Amino acid sequence: MAAPGDPRKLPYLLIGVGSLMLGLFAGWTPIASRIDNYYYDWLLMLNKPSEAAHDAYLVEIDDQTLIDYKGSRQLRRTMAKALEVLAGAGPKAVAIDLILADEDDAGGDELLAAAMAKVPNLVLSSDIMRNSDRWEEPYAPFAKVAKAIGHVHADLDQYDGVSRQVQLEKVAERKRRWAMALEAYRLAMGGEQIVESQRDLDVAGKRLPFPRRGERGRPMLIRYRWAPLPRLSLKTLIERPEEAARLKGKVVFLGVTSLSQARDRWVTPYSTSMGMPGVEIHAHIYETLAQRDFLFAASNISIVLAAAVLAMAPAVVFAYLGGWHAYAVAAIQILWAHSLPHVVFSNGIVFPILAPAACAWLSVIGCGSWQYFVVRKQLRRSEADRSRYQQAIHFVSHEMKSPLTAIQGSSELISRYNMTEEKRKQMAQMINSESKRLAKMIQTFLDVERLEEGQMELKKEPFAASDTVIVCAERARPLAERKKIGLEVKGLAEAEVLGDRELMEYAVYNLLSNAVKYSPSGTEVAVESRYDAGQLRIAVSDQGIGMDEKELKQVGQRFYRTKRAEQSGEAGTGIGLSIVGQIVEHHGGRLEIASTPGKGSCFTIVLPAKGN
């Protein structure tokens, strides 16, 4: 586990920041918008609006009306008839979602204008013409009798074409128009005008908290009702005027819903494949305003902040916690990232899902993998280092035992028994030489350790190869004699090696003592050095237990001992050869081993050298 201020925390921090940037980038791509939209629609499904009594009422020009009243050619006359009935019913306001822009050849304009004049709080519609920046206005006689003209522009999502919001205001030809439903709302509320500021609108003392967002206008999310809005067809209105009583005190939205005239149908988050007629959407916009059932898109700053928290939290968790604790907390964070849009939605805030979830997932996966693969690996390595260190300690204590036993025995002998001066001198010398050997051994071991860790530069002094061979042979001779093994120095090359004499002595002596150790009595051990073309070969051969192919492959690895060696009763540590290998390698050479089980082995140190 990382401690505070530990540089090992930095990777987590970097992964956190990287996840944040990647997550935010992903969150702003078109595919992310689609996913966010899809998620939004799903949240709308989960959080259906309360079914309060509706104020809006649809009067539909449906298929049956168009069939029975000779289609759209007679439409103005038909509408005039219906409006006469409607006016008598006393609605609060009437919004007509038909752009009656031109004079009608079939006549009926006067009739219609007269009927319109009787309707209270009439709102007519206009829209910006396609491919031009001009309003398509209602025919002047109609416009004259209308209380307001509102825009009926459908604001469809640029990626999936679904109608989720409305622009409360639209500007063209420097003329600003409020949304038709907003105008109907104002008139129904008895408002004289809409008071606007950058931050909100005021309609008859009611604040509508929709700020103007520069280029993006003044968007409002439409809170569609789940249950269908109440409706009446134009035909019913004309044929059974008594039904008009239902429209008393309502805000009526009149428009075409006929499927055969389906130009004005849009997909909504709740709609079926048929889509919803524009007039009905306007009624839903009105309901959103009237019931103040507002949803607000979360600001970019809050999204970035939430994403930052979600990306950085796993980084902190993994930097400070280890093991399953970290994974458990990370899982909770992912859960939290996913539930965030749900929680805020119930407070009327629409939050995207992709950016925060992507940040959380990326960060958790990144930091988790980092901890699992990298930090765990480091941990395993440091554990291996520790056990290696313990084994090294074991080796040192084991190797130090024999000189210590000699020193201890000799000193005891001197103090306990009377002996001749000569014998005493011999003992004292023995103590002296053994303690020197001990000191040298410790030094060698420390040197090799430091060499291995790269803390020490190899000594670079020239020394004669023949000296090394002779010194080592002499040192090993008593061991050989004790086992009744012959030790022969066969050839002595005259060559100069550049390096560390003591370490090289350690290496050669180690090979000789192994040869003696792993050979039975009565056999021969030979050491031979040869020089040829810049290469010195010091070969130590024996007639001992040998090794098979498999053992040969592993010998020289730290702590490896052959079964054969153990059975021969020699309990080694399996570290000597690995040190030899390192010493030779540090001198730019290599160790060659040839061996046959039961026949003997030959260890050859091959070194770069200079011939004399």
Q: Write out the residues near ligand ADP by the rule CB under 6 A.
A: 514-515, 518, 542, 544-547, 555, 561-562, 565, 572-578, 601
**Coil, strand or helix: which one is 101?**
coil
Residue 440 Cβ, how far from ligand ADP at the closest point, in Å?
A: 18
Kindly tell me which of 474 and 570 has the beta carbon lying closer to ligand ADP. 570
Alpha-carbon gap, residue 569 to 556, rounded angstroms: 19
DSSP of 301-370, one letter per residue?
HHHHHHHHHHHHHHHHHHHH--HHHHHHHHHHHHHHHHHHHHHHHTTTEE--SHHHHHHHHHHHHHHHHI
- Under DSSP, the state recorded for 599 is T
Alpha-carbon gap, residue 46 to 293, rounded angstroms: 15
| φ, ψ of residue 21 in degrees (nearest 5) | -65, -45
Kindly tell me which of 293 and 449 has the beta carbon lying closer to ligand ADP. 449
CA distances, 112 to each of 58, 142, 143, 210, 522 (Å): 19, 8, 12, 36, 133
Kindly tell me which of 243 and 449 has the beta carbon lying closer to ligand ADP. 449
Residue 519 Cβ, how far from ligand ADP at the closest point, in Å?
A: 7
Query: Which residues fall within 8 angstroms of residue 61, CB to CB, at 6 or more apart?
Result: 75, 79, 98, 233, 234, 254, 255, 256, 257, 258, 261
Say how far residue 552 (Cα) sits from the centre of its chain. Answer: 47
DSSP of 168-237, one letter per residue?
SEEEETTEEEEBHHHHHHHHHTT-S-EEE-SS-EEETTEEE-----GGG--EEE----SSPPPEEEHHHH
Residue 12 Cβ, how far from ligand ADP at the closest point, in Å?
A: 42
Kindly tell me which of 246 and 483 has the beta carbon lying closer to ligand ADP. 483
Residue 386 Cβ, how far from ligand ADP at the closest point, in Å?
A: 21
Kindly tell me which of 277 and 572 has the beta carbon lying closer to ligand ADP. 572
Say how far residue 444 (Cα) sits from the centre of its chain. Answer: 50
Kindly tell me which of 205 and 569 has the beta carbon lying closer to ligand ADP. 569
Q: Do residues 357 and 314 lie in contact, with contact meaning Cβ atoms separated by under 8 Å?
A: no
Say how far residue 330 (Cα) sits from the centre of its chain. Answer: 11
596: enclosing H helix or E strand? strand 590-596
Q: Do residues 188 and 251 lie in contact, with contact meaning Cβ atoms separated by under 8 Å?
A: yes
Residue 430 Cβ, how far from ligand ADP at the closest point, in Å?
A: 24
Alpha-carbon gap, residue 389 to 395, rounded angstroms: 10
Residue 382 Cβ, how far from ligand ADP at the closest point, in Å?
A: 25
Kindly tell me which of 239 and 481 has the beta carbon lying closer to ligand ADP. 481
Residue 401 Cβ, how far from ligand ADP at the closest point, in Å?
A: 13
Kindly tell me which of 119 and 577 has the beta carbon lying closer to ligand ADP. 577
Helical H segments across 373-500, by residue range: 376-416, 421-452, 465-482
Strands 486-489 and 524-532: parallel
Residue nearest to ligand ADP (CB): 572
Kindly tell me which of 135 and 395 has the beta carbon lying closer to ligand ADP. 395
Residue 578 Cβ, how far from ligand ADP at the closest point, in Å?
A: 6
Residue 535 Cβ, how far from ligand ADP at the closest point, in Å?
A: 22
Residue 384 Cβ, how far from ligand ADP at the closest point, in Å?
A: 19
Residue 513 Cβ, how far from ligand ADP at the closest point, in Å?
A: 8
Q: Do residues 274 and 265 lie in contact, with contact meaning Cβ atoms separated by under 8 Å?
A: yes
Kindly tell me which of 562 and 604 has the beta carbon lying closer to ligand ADP. 562
Residue 577 Cβ, how far from ligand ADP at the closest point, in Å?
A: 3
Q: Do residues 268 and 276 lie in contact, with contact meaning Cβ atoms separated by under 8 Å?
A: yes
- From 299, 365, 370, 295, select the one nearest 337 (Cα to Cα): 365
Kindly tell me which of 350 and 538 has the beta carbon lying closer to ligand ADP. 538
- From 48, 38, 46, select the one nearest 293 (Cα to Cα): 48
Residue 425 Cβ, how far from ligand ADP at the closest point, in Å?
A: 34
- Buried-exposed string 547-580: b where 16+ CB fall within 10 A, e elsewhere: beeebbeebbebebbbebbeeeeeebbbbbbbbb
Kindly tell me which of 137 and 548 has the beta carbon lying closer to ligand ADP. 548
Residue 448 Cβ, how far from ligand ADP at the closest point, in Å?
A: 13
Strands 194-196 and 175-178: unpaired
SS3 content of the chain, % helix, strand, coil (to 5): 50, 20, 30
Angle between helices 376-416 and 421-452 (to 10 degrees): 170
Residue 365 Cβ, how far from ligand ADP at the closest point, in Å?
A: 45
Kindly tell me which of 59 and 448 has the beta carbon lying closer to ligand ADP. 448
DSSP of 241-270, one letter per residue?
GGGGGGGTT-EEEEEE--GGGGGGEEB-TT
Kindly tell me which of 82 and 577 has the beta carbon lying closer to ligand ADP. 577
**Coil, strand or helix: which one is 292?**
coil
Kindly tell me which of 202 and 548 has the beta carbon lying closer to ligand ADP. 548
